[in-house]
Chains A and B, each alone.
Chain A
Amino acid sequence: MSTKTKPPAKLGGLRFKNAVTPWLFILPGLVFTFIFRYYTTFQAFWISLHDYDVAEPPGDFIGFENYIALFKNADFWSAWKNTLIFTVLSLLITFFIPIIQALFLNEVRRGRGMFTTLYLIPTMIPLSINVIIWKWIFNPNYGLANAIVTFFGGEPQTWYSDPTLTKLCIILPGILGGGFSVLMYLSAIMGVDRDIYEAADIDGCYGFKRLWYITLPNIRFLIMIQMILAVIGAMQILDQPLQYTTGGPNGASTSIALHINNLMVENVNYGKAAASGVILLVVIAIITAVEMKLDKSEKK
């Protein structure tokens, strides 16, 4: 009497199927990721080593000369300085707003759906429309901002035209918060185990203490992920300075991404533009690695 239930050949086929099927599912994604992410990144690095010739690519190989020239260029450093200020301003002004909005929504019992919709609607407004609205608000002659400032006895400002204020004016619209971040924070907050809150209630942990010791630590993983994404997004800021101020006045709002754009589109210097892009990638990678190293949320 045989105890075998499956013939060895069939068993081998099933194992093969089980091993290969998952790869078949992820293969298209992997292929496209390599083509459109990694290949283009390596291509950019390759271009950065050339005095790129559009008509006869890639042109003369010049090693790291593009990088050396960038490091000697004051505008390159000015763009980096602006980018870091944009990043800090963005984190200070806009990062925490969606968390506060999500906490508020979590506490609301009636009208949560309405408020959630209200927070989402602004994300549907294109940036170019926002630019028109905020340019009107900050118009030095007839804008709302100067009306408010002068009402309180202040001096009217030139806002976007003032090199010291322009970056703030570009980031400030983000203070309205909203968007998908609110939904993500809200779902994370609502996902916190109710038993923990009940235990906290019994221990007399209410209000701000409950927020500080229960809610925030339990959504810390999401805050860290959002923080990493926010820093990456802020370091790559391009559309806002381009549309609000075209990088001015006098380069005061030219971010490194806009600097790269200008090198490519205006100066037609693909080699330097690619070198700047590679440097930006490396800097973002280092900052992201540091952020992930500092993040203890997964280990706890």
Chain B
Amino acid sequence: MTRWVTASSQTEAGQRREERFQEKYPNIKLNNVIVAEGTDYITAFASGTNPDIGAVGQPDMAKYAYGGMALALDDYMATWDEREHFEQAILDNFKYNGKYYALASDSYTMQLFYNKALFAEAGIENPPATWDELLETAKKLTKPEKGQWGMNLLLSQWQNWWFEYFVWQAGGDLTKENDDGTIELTFDDPAVETAIDFYRELIAADVIQPDLTLDYENMQNEFSAGHAAMTLIGSGDITRFTQQGMNIDDIGIAELPVGPSGEKVTQLGGNCGFIFSNVSDEVADAAWTWLTFERSKEETEQGLKDAADLGGASPQIVIRDDVDVSLGNVNPEYQAVVDASIPHARLEYYGKGIVGTYVDKAVEKTALDPDADVKAVFQEQQELAQSEAVDSYNQDILESGK
């Protein structure tokens, strides 16, 4: 059974897990193919060079399920004796047209990360709780002479990702899921314009990264380097910053600021594993064995212990109900923030994997150009998204539901 791994994901703990798997299932040969970060499964599938199992974020899974690239797992799940230990809502995140196509790997909430040392230096005691406070705090933390800016804002790639939070916080959404599972685009929601106005305010105040072309990875690196005082990232990414040399005592995490809607809201994110549809039955069986092994109680607890050995696991959103989370030695301060965020967390907007690039384009065009007509640009992208992506997607859903 073949799977893709990246150089950075090849940790010692991961290799020990593979050894345990091979020991337990000697008849299955696990082939790791090292690929570059971001290597595209779809291109590989098109040319028949895909691995046997894949791992993607929750919003992207719809593309593989509806695109016929993922194997339905219902037959396996019907006889899976571990199923009862998984949160049903988390399993259901990967159900499309009544069938399961993937298993959740982990779950996280999106948080505001801030540099406690820079906050103390600027005399700021608490992280911002509202949009207004976010702007004011960012202003105080922006010190161009030190190469320091208030906060990161995702503007050069995947713009729709963080933008959705601001739209939610303004009381709206980018799409709507109809009862039959089809997507309805709502780029004309007034909250979209409110969110763009706030983006423009942040950009005009010069409180974000001065290099607007910084990609996501480098932007987060700038947070660990102490250049960006605040950033947004998943609760599971604390170790990412400490591995880059950031002092864990300098890392603060907080809930996302409240916008004009007055409601707290954040993203419930997560990754999943799935089996490609073009594999043989024998390989599919082996792939299922790996997926369930990775998510077993023993392996989940071993993962927590491994993280504790490295200084403590990231705050947990438990996907199994029979795991002893205390094994991860999670910092209670971080866990409290994540626990407070969970009731306000929601999945990313429906159909993000299908229409995200159109939102990216609209955000980029309007946020960076103060003269751009927000309504007109989003309307234009909505029409493009409708004709180029949504119509065929909806048709597939309706046909597969028949």
Contact = CB atoms under 8 A, between A and B. Distances in A.
Contact of A55 (B69, B210, B212, B215): B69
A20 interface: no
30 contacts: A54-B42, A54-B45, A54-B69, A55-B45, A55-B69, A55-B277, A73-B384, A75-B361, A139-B147, A139-B211, A140-B210, A142-B147, A158-B212, A160-B211, A161-B213, A245-B156, A246-B156, A246-B213, A248-B213, A248-B364, A249-B156, A249-B213, A249-B368, A251-B361, A251-B364, A251-B365, A253-B213, A265-B40, A268-B42, A269-B388
B357 interface: yes
Interface in B325-344: none
A238 to B, nearest CB: 15
A95 interface: no
Nearest to B363: A250
Given A55-B277, A140-B211, A245-B213, A250 B368 contact: yes
A160 B369 CA distance: 15
A141 interface: yes
Interface of B: 40, 42-43, 45-46, 63, 67-69, 144, 147, 155-157, 210-213, 215, 277, 357, 360-361, 364-365, 368-369, 384, 388-389, 392
Contacts of B67: 54-55
Contact of A244 (B45, B147, B213): B213
A67 interface: no
A51 B144 contact: no
Given A54-B45, A268-B42, A135 B211 contact: yes
Contacts of A232: none
A222 to B, nearest CB: 36
B241 to A, nearest CB: 20
B357 A266 contact: yes
B226 to A, nearest CB: 13
Nearest to A269: B388
Contacts, number: 77
A187 interface: no
B156 A267 contact: no
Nearest to A253: B213
Contacts of A158: 210-212
- A interface SS class: loop
A264 B157 CA distance: 15
B201 to A, nearest CB: 17
Interface of A: 51, 54-57, 69, 73, 75, 135, 139-142, 158, 160-161, 166, 244-246, 248-251, 253, 262, 264-270
B43 A265 contact: yes
A245 B364 CA distance: 13
A154 to B, nearest CB: 16
Contacts of A57: 46
A248 B357 contact: no
Contact of A250 (B42, B63, B365, B384): B365
Given A55-B68, A270-B46, A166 B213 contact: yes
Contacts of B63: 268
Contacts of A73: 384
Nearest to A263: B357
Given A161-B213, A246-B156, A251-B364, A267 B144 contact: no
A141 B392 CA distance: 46
A154 B361 CA distance: 33
A130 B266 CA distance: 38
A69 B388 CA distance: 9
Contacts of B384: 73
* From A51, A250, A253, residue with most partner B Cβ within 10 Å: A250
A48 B389 CA distance: 17
Given A141-B210, A161-B212, A248 B156 contact: yes
A250 B147 contact: no
Contacts of B210: 139-141, 158, 161
A244 B357 CA distance: 20
A158 B69 CA distance: 43
Contacts of B68: 55-56
B54 to A, nearest CB: 13
Contacts of B215: 246
A246 B361 CA distance: 13
A250 B212 CA distance: 9
A117 B40 CA distance: 39
Nearest to A245: B213
B383 to A, nearest CB: 11
Contacts of A268: 42, 63
A51 B67 CA distance: 13
